[in-house]
Amino acid sequence: DIVMTQSPDSLAVSLGERATINCKSSQSILYSSNSQNYLAWFQQKLGQPPKLLLYWASTRESGVPDRFSGSGSGTDFTLTISSLQAEDVAIYYCQQYYRTPYTFGQGTNLEIK
C-alpha cells in the first residue's frame, strides 16, 4: 500500500497569513504516461463530509477559492492557503488515487492563532 504522511499534524496560523501543509507519499504517484500526479486534497469541517479542494495535485475544484493552491510532484506535495480566512479552520487530508487502496494522509488540523 502507498503510505501518505502529512506534516505537521496541527498548525496554528494568524488570519491573513499563509498556511502550508506538506504531504509525502511512500512511492511516486506520478504516472509517466500522462505526467499527472494522482493526488487530491480535501477539507473536512467538524461534522461534515470531506470536500474536494484540489485534484491532479494542483487543479482547483470548481468553486474553490483561489487562495487554495497545490504544488509538488512525484512523492512530495504541498497545499498552500495564501491568506487564511476564519472559514478555513478544518482538518485537511491529502489522498493518492494512483493505486488501490486509495490511501489518505493522517490529516492536518488547521486552527487560527
Partner 1 sequence: QVQLVQSGGEVKRPGASVKVSCKASGYTFTTYGITWVRQAPGQGLEWMGWISPYNGDTKYAQNLQGRVTLTTDTSTSTAYAELRGLTSDDTAVYFCARERPCGGDECLLPLYWYYYGFDVWGQGTTVTVSS
For position 51 contacting partner 1 by CB under 8 A, the verdict is yes
Which of residues 14, 99, 111, 112 is near partner 1 by CB under 8 A? 99
**Count of residues touching partner 1 (by CB under 8 A):** 27
Give CA–CA dist 69/98, Å, rounded. 20
Which C-beta is closer to partner 1: that of 72 or that of 105? 105
The beta strand positions in the chain, using DSSP E, are 4-7, 10-13, 19-25, 30-31, 36-37, 39-44, 51-55, 59-60, 68-73, 76-81, 90-96, 108-112
What's the maximum distance between 2 C-alpha atoms anywhere in the chain?
43
Interface map 59-78 toward partner 1 (x if CB under 8 A): x-x-----------------
The three cell numbers of residue 41 are: 486534497
Provide the terminal-to-terminal Cα distance of the chain, rounded to the nearest Å.
36
Q: Is 5 in the site for partner 1 (CB under 8 A)?
A: no
Which of 22, 58, 74, 97: binder of partner 1 (CB under 8 A)?
97
Select the residue interacting with partner 1 from 11, 74, 82, 104 (CB under 8 A).
104
| Residue 105 in contact with partner 1, rule: CB under 8 A | yes
Residue 31 interacts with partner 1 (CB under 8 A)? yes
